[in-house]
Amino acid sequence: MGKRRRKKRDFRSRTLDLIEWAALRSLVFALNAPGEKRAAALAEAAAKAALKLGIRLPVVRENLAAAFHGEKTPEAEESVVRSAYRQWALTFVEWARTWHRKGLDGAIDRVEIEGDRPLLDALRQGRGVIAVTAHFGHFELMPLTWARAHGPINLIVRPLDNRLLDLSLNRLRGRYGCRVLTRRGIVRNAIRRLRAGEMLGVLIDQNMIRREGVFVDFFGKPACTTPLSAALALRTGAAVFPGFIIRQAPFRHRLVFGREIPTLRTGNLQADLEANTARHTRAVEDAVRAHPDHWLWIHRRWRTQPAGGPAKGRRAAPVGGGGLPAGAPGAGRADGPGISP
């Protein structure tokens, strides 16, 4: 009986995966039919509809209020909400149009890269580079733009629950030499790539379960954050740079890299993990403060809190051999919606 139930469950899961995959492919096809102006108009209409229906709206408003602590007036926060929904809708439309090679080439042609010289210098020195970023703007364009301009980049991403969608997305990411590191042996693979003087992209802005994260300030509140970028930098000596993609207009972006974030080494591994994770997270906060409508406010970033509440202080994740989070399967387990990086 147990085997029958498992087979039924697997069959339902595969069927649902196929239905979702077919629905997305149909939507992608439909969004590739109109010209860019009409596609942008469709995005605007979709954003207004999502707002009217209140899709994730309570979460967005709650997160904005928690982040800005009254720094913004209610009117200013509502302006960010409206602009954020427009950004997300337009990003989805742009992303759908990159599924075809011609559309992807056209999208990358209109991304300007700024601040990449120090990263290239570090790579030429054989140091390895970690680019820390977030679910910010059209983040899927970042590795593709880099790879076409400068060569391969390795990515650590959270797999989607739908295996067909995950396979399709990774096939898209794999163009121009982007490499998606799989969960099996992901940390060892990342270390090997960095020690070989390669580049690695890591998204660090998702809520983590308590045993796999460190608590650092994010907009003045403890946020359980993956220490992976900090652990890899400490282990390999790779240079760490923040990078974010900023929209200039529909279908036009700038990929901007900030100054290198020095890796702090005190000899206390637990403290170093937390301090460096805090530095990386501060770069994300700075980007979000500069462009608040670019970030994914629908994610419950502060869901996990320190045991006993924030007043008890923060707890670093236990550390295993080599300065990597003990028991971490690589990128760790994000606790939140199935958002793909």
Q: What tens digit of pLDDT does each residue of 97-113 get?
A: 998 878 899 999 999 99
How far is the C-alpha of 178 from the C-alpha of 164, rounded, in Å? 19
Confidence of residue 326 (pLDDT cuts 50, 70, 90): very low
Give pLDDT, residue 309: 67
Instruction: Domain ranges for the chain, please list them.
Output: 111-323
Query: Three-class SS of residue 293?
Result: helix
How far is the C-alpha of 203 from the C-alpha of 11, rounded, in Å? 33
How far is the C-alpha of 46 from the C-alpha of 326, rounded, in Å? 43
Can you name the residues that pair with 216 across neighbouring β-strands? 223
Pick from 11, 13, 40, 7: which is nearest to 165 by CA? 13
Cβ pair 294, 141 in contact under 8 A: no
CA–CA–CA angle 241, 242, 244 (5° rounding): 140
Give pLDDT, residue 337: 32
Mean pLDDT of the 9-18 span: 80
pTM exceeds 0.85, yes or no: yes
* pLDDT tens digits along 70-91: 899 999 999 999 999 999 999 9
Residues 6+ apart with CB under 8 A from 19: none
Pick from 297, 292, 262, 285: which is nearest to 216 by CA? 285
Quote the longest CA-to-CA distance of the chain: 61
Give pLDDT, residue 320: 36
Give pLDDT, residue 314: 47
Cβ pair 218, 193 in contact under 8 A: no
Cβ pair 77, 61 in contact under 8 A: yes
Alpha helices in 221-268 (DSSP H): 228-236
Pick from 178, 153, 183, 195: which is nearest to 331 by CA? 183
In the predicted structure, residue 124 carries a pLDDT above the cut 90: yes
Confidence of residue 9 (pLDDT cuts 50, 70, 90): low
Q: At what angle do helices 269-290 and 228-236 cross, to 10 degrees?
A: 120
In the predicted structure, residue 231 carries a pLDDT above the cut 60: yes
Give pLDDT, residue 174: 84
Of 9-18, 38-47, 155-164, which range is least confident? Answer: 9-18
In the predicted structure, residue 328 carries a pLDDT above the cut 60: no
DSSP class of 112: E
Residues 6+ apart with CB under 8 A from 304: 207, 208, 209, 210, 213, 224, 335
Q: What percent of the chain has pLDDT over 70?
A: 87
Pick from 194, 221, 233, 204: which is nearest to 304 by CA? 221
How far is the C-alpha of 219 from the C-alpha of 222, rounded, in Å? 8
Cβ pair 214, 319 in contact under 8 A: no
Q: Is 33 exposed, middle or buried (0-12, 13-18, 19+ CB in 10 A)?
A: exposed
Give pLDDT, residue 171: 87
How far is the C-alpha of 331 from the C-alpha of 186, rounded, in Å? 8
How far is the C-alpha of 213 from the C-alpha of 312, rounded, in Å? 16
How far is the C-alpha of 50 from the C-alpha of 103, rounded, in Å? 26
Give pLDDT, residue 308: 76
Query: Three-class SS of residue 273?
Result: helix
Query: Three-class SS of residue 138?
Result: coil
In the predicted structure, residue 324 carries a pLDDT above the cut 50: no
CA–CA–CA angle 200, 122, 130 (5° rounding): 20
Cβ pair 181, 190 in contact under 8 A: yes
One-letter amino acid for residue 131 of the chain: A
* pLDDT tens digits along 19-77: 998 998 899 989 998 899 999 999 999 999 999 999 999 999 999 999 998 899 999 99
* pLDDT tens digits along 274-322: 999 999 999 999 999 999 999 999 999 999 999 876 544 444 443 333 3
Q: For 111-323, give the CATH class.
A: alpha beta
